[in-house]
Chains A and B, each alone.
Chain A
């Protein structure tokens, strides 16, 4: 029993840590896809975010912001992400580009551009390491609760809780406010929205830019909490995992959150389990593929069909049917 608890005390916080960037990014994907724009460019947006997060943090550090620097860095990344997402928005909304193509291009562009800029700024392939960081903390009072305290509230990053809070806010905004209703209507039936006086293109721009902002947050949180610096290898695949979480979660905030935590849990389990007595003789490859196999099994077993927004991947032209 104790052993199991001990394991959970390691795995649960690790799962939450790994899930945080995915969760945030998936929220971004949600805004974009709910407005009817496929966003396979989440990976690129996360790359921009990670870049912005580190560069921003370094910049604020040098301006003397001290330990607040990473927070400003994240905000900087949010901005960068939103601005960068404009590429996707202009191409796929105004220029009616195929949204998948445009997203793929975004990924290429982000990687090329960030590394290019890093070279220009730092004269090398990676940035300096940030020294002001966001650290793990014990949440006062809550961490003293037996069993769940050590599991959920000790040695966690505040960013995780911010992210969880954001999920709730996103849910509220998307399902309870006029903005959310309009956003969803644009993703389901843009023509109907248009006849109701809703500016379809503008809503989609907002959706895509929000996706950039959130993916920027996701990437930067990863960078400032875990990686500590930025290079071409900082974000590899997390954006795709976030996209998977969004679909896995059936395009709902809590669903995506659950899926992200599920991924995080599976990954934490796969790395931690190898340190457990009795499991050391199992070939490592089984642990390495565990998260991915679990996901597939979960999808095939009990999640099944996911209904995307109806107008997803369809450029809107006034008057077309």
Chain B
């Protein structure tokens, strides 16, 4: 059908237009603050793809963002708003590093074990709000906000009391648990790109598979749309809520493992939140809670964050501008209704002629 076709094309065009608008608005701000937008964006682009190093770093930054985006999206699909991805990521980071430190095992066992440990810790952190929601109807938004703080304080305290090595961090994990890749790193002029990137890509496929190919996925989506009808159809709404929060937490926890086992190789006392989890909300929503969308939007996010440094040093653009641009892009994507409407108008005008 005509409309279906239009729908598919629009699904791609609309976010692109939104991104374009976001950048245009950014250019305007640059002009107003006395910077040449062309120089600014030139620096931004070269900061993302200018050298293999930058590109590697962009992909490295993408990795945990993909996970946190998946985590938010997964819960969202079941009608839950998981603001606790940040905390789940933190416990995942800590736990994976702990396993990476405390255990001696060959890599084939150690590395998967450490990642799984991170995922399990995150799942546990998501399980609590899920359980409270299912059992006592406690709003998940509050509980997840609270769980974030608990995660940060508890892991900080555990590191401080038991694992402190130098400065603010634990010692480095055993190489058998490391995602580090000298190959990828050298390929990208010593960026921190690590194998985790591929794990993240696999996680995207995994989420897609769970949601769209499995029985559980069918149930999770059903519960997300209509709890009553799901109950009527014999699904257990409560266990699906708990499951959804746990899986969401597992994605987040695995994201933490990527940071701990890949980017840093240690866990450290966090003076404040990492923000990766909060960024995940934006990544997921920008990506329309789909796997492909999340992959692409985390590239945009990671790239902008990476390129921001270059914009600052080469074009003298304040790094905050990138944050503003990101915000505007999200606005425009969210407001896609208008873009859709305007595009529709344009198109029908063309058709009339």
Is there any pair of Cβ atoms, one from A and one from B, under 8 angstroms apart in the complex?
A: yes
Interface residues of B in 108-154 (CB under 8 A from A): 128, 132, 135-139, 141-143, 145-147, 149-150, 153-154
Closest A residue by C-beta to B142: A244
Known: A102-B331, A244-B145. A285 touches B154 (CB 8 A): yes
**Does B348 interact with chain A (Cβ within 8 Å)?**
no
In the complex, whether A289 has a CB less than 8 A from a CB of chain B is yes
Chain A-chain B contacts (Cβ-Cβ < 8 Å), number: 149
A146 CB to closest chain B CB (Å) equals 36
* CB pair B335 A97 closer than 8 Å: yes
Q: Which residue of B lies closest to A99 (CB)?
A: B334
The answer to whether B333 touches A244, judged by C-beta atoms less than 8 angstroms apart, is no
Contact call A299/B334, Cβ cutoff below 8 A: no
CB of B78 to closest CB in A, whole Å: 15
Q: Given A288-B153, A288-B157, A299-B132: A91 and B324 within 8 A (CB)?
A: no
A108 to B280, CA, bound (A): 12
Residues of B within 8 A of A241 (CB): 145
- Interface footprint category on A: 35 or more
- List of A residues within 8 angstroms of B161 by Cβ: 283
Among B143, B157, B322, point to the contact of A299 (Cβ < 8 A): B143
Closest Cβ of chain A to B267, distance in Å, is 16
Q: Known: A105-B330, A109-B328. Contact between A91 and B137, CB under 8 A?
A: no
From 115 to 135 in chain A, residues with beta carbon under 8 angstroms from any chain B beta carbon are 115-116, 119-120
B166 within 8 A of A: no
Is A66 in the interface zone, CB < 8 Å from B?
A: no
- Chain B CB within 8 A of A304 CB: yes
Given the contacts A247-B142, A306-B139, A111 and B150 also touching, CB distance less than 8 Å = no
Chain A at the B interface: mostly helix, strand, loop or mixed?
Answer: helix
* Chain B nearest Cβ from A67, distance in angstroms: 32
Q: Which of B304-353 contact A (CB under 8 A)?
A: 318, 320-324, 326-328, 330-331, 333-338
User: Which of chain B's residues has its CB closest to A247's CB?
Assistant: B139
Within 8 Å CB of B245, what residues of A? none
Q: Is A295 an interface residue (CB 8 A)?
A: yes
B157 close to A108 (CB less than 8 A): no
Q: Determine whether the beta carbon of A105 is less than 8 Å from that of B327.
A: yes
> A304 to nearest B CB, angstroms?
5
With an 8 A cutoff between CB atoms, is B19 at the interface?
no
Q: Contacts A104-B281, A112-B324, A300-B138; is A95 near B146 (CB within 8 Å)?
A: no
Considering the complex, which residues of chain A in the window 280-300 have a beta carbon less than 8 Å from any beta carbon of chain B? 283-285, 288-289, 291-293, 295-296, 299-300
The docked-state distance in angstroms from the alpha carbon of A304 to that of B135 is: 9
Interface assignment of A310: CB less than 8 Å from any CB of chain B: no
Task: Give every chain A residue within 8 A of B250 (Cβ-Cβ).
Answer: none
Contact with B along A135-167 (1 / 0, CB 8 A): 000000000000000000000000000000000
- Answer whether A289 and B150 are a contact pair too, CB < 8 Å, given A95-B337, A102-B331, A105-B331: yes
* 26 CB < 8 A contacts A-B: A97-B331, A98-B285, A101-B330, A101-B333, A102-B331, A104-B330, A105-B327, A105-B328, A105-B330, A107-B278, A107-B327, A109-B327, A109-B328, A112-B320, A112-B326, A115-B320, A116-B318, A119-B320, A243-B145, A288-B153, A289-B149, A293-B150, A296-B132, A296-B138, A303-B138, A305-B136
Could you list which residues of chain B lie within 8 angstroms of chain A, going by C-beta atoms? Answer: 29, 33, 81, 83, 128, 132, 135-139, 141-143, 145-147, 149-150, 153-154, 156-157, 161, 272-273, 278, 281-282, 285-286, 318, 320-324, 326-328, 330-331, 333-338
